[in-house]
């Protein structure tokens, strides 16, 4: 493909030239793309996005969902003041709303609907709920993304083969497999936002949390001579890139990987492996 004299080739033109010989399989395609990166025809971000897009058809909802145990829900019979406090504490925009248990999802509550309550309009929680969308945990991510786009839904409840709730998945969870972690304007690099106390007493920690901040929060003494972040410390302890569900014990701290993909680790679940009181007595 020729270009005008003096005019640089576009990305599409450079890729077309690179792929003039059709690759036989995905492995060969990836080898060509990595070759393009090494020859500065693709930058690192473009390569990462293409890799993520190609991998989506190999991933299922169960690979990226928030597991049932970590779902933050509101009760359909909860008082509105309690719901408002919980919305502020968690910072989410959508909440599964349940009856007697997490298996009894009656709808999805949007945090913005609280405005009607606080300005004094007539408000009934059950009437404000959006219908919940249910998807099997074996559904492919590329199919789910298409469904999200067509239906304009942003959240789905994941069910297992027996019909029980296995977790939840959002459109952000899916898109992060392509572009990496998405942070909105309310996310911050402050340690207070990197380390968040959950309802069950454990902590949700961003993998990018610096070792010094982690040491301060958990009274640990990890060295930052070789790695800068707690995610790097977990990778070094495992000797490989972590997968969701991997667990390591670092000193007296138990760290479980909540969210990771084939390229990086995003979120960790942290708790003391030995209760603090018992550790002091030992």
Per-residue pLDDT of 78-132, as tens digits, reads 988 888 888 888 878 899 999 988 999 999 999 888 888 887 777 788 888 999 9
DSSP H or E segment with residue 213: helix 211-218
Which of 150, 179, 208 terminates a domain? The answer is 179
Closest CA to 229 of 253, 247, 208, 248: 208
Quick check: is 204 in a domain?
yes
Conformation bin of residue 163: beta by default, left when phi > 0, alpha when psi is -120 to 50? left
Range of the domain at 67: 63-179
Residue recorded with tokens 């693709």: 42
Which of 179, 196, 230 terminates a domain? The answer is 179
Range with the poorest average pLDDT among 97-106, 162-171, 260-269:
260-269
Which of 179, 201, 230 terminates a domain? The answer is 179
When pLDDT is cut at 50, 70 and 90, the band that residue 155 belongs to is: very high
The DSSP call for residue 106 is E
| Alpha carbons 156 and 224: distance in angstroms, whole number | 39
Cα of first residue to Cα of last residue in the chain, in angstroms, is: 72
Question: Where residue 192 sits, what CATH number does that domain have?
Answer: 3.30.465.10
- Cross-strand pairs, 229: 210
What is the reported pTM? 0.60
Same domain, 103 and 161: yes
Q: What is the pLDDT of residues 8-53, one digit of tens each?
A: 656 666 666 555 556 666 677 777 777 777 777 777 777 777 777 7
Quick check: is 175 in a domain?
yes
């Amino acid at each position: 493909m020729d270009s005008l004299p003096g005019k640089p080739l576009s990305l599409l033109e450079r890729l077309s030239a690179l792929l003039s010989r059709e690759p036989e399989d995905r492995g060969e395609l990836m080898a060509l793309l990595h070759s393009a990166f090494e020859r500065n025809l693709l930058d690192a971000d473009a390569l990462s996005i293409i890799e993520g897009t190609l991998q989506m058809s190999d991933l299922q909802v169960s690979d990226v969902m928030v597991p049932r145990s970590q779902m933050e829900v509101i009760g359909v019979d909860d008082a509105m003041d309690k719901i408002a406090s919980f919305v502020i504490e968690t910072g989410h925009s959508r909440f599964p709303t349940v009856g007697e248990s997490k298996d009894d999802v009656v709808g999805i509550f949007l945090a913005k609907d609280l405005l009607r309550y606080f300005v004094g309009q007539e408000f009934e929680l059950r009437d404000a709920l959006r219908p919940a969308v249910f998807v099997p945990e074996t559904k492919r991510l590329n199919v789910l993304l298409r469904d999200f786009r067509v239906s304009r839904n942003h959240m789905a409840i994941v069910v297992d083969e027996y019909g029980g709730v296995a977790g939840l998945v959002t459109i952000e969870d899916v898109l992060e497999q392509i572009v990496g972690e998405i942070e909105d304007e309310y996310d911050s690099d402050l340690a207070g936002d990197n380390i968040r106390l959950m309802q069950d007493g454990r902590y949700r920690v961003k993998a990018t949390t610096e070792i010094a901040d982690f040491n301060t929060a958990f009274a640990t003494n990890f060295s930052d001579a070789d790695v800068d972040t707690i995610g790097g410390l977990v990778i070094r302890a495992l000797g490989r890139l972590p997968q969701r569900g991997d667990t390591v014990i670092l000193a007296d701290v138990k760290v479980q990987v909540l969210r990771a993909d084939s390229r990086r680790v995003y979120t960790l679940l942290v708790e003391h492996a030995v209760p603090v009181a018992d550790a002091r007595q030992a």
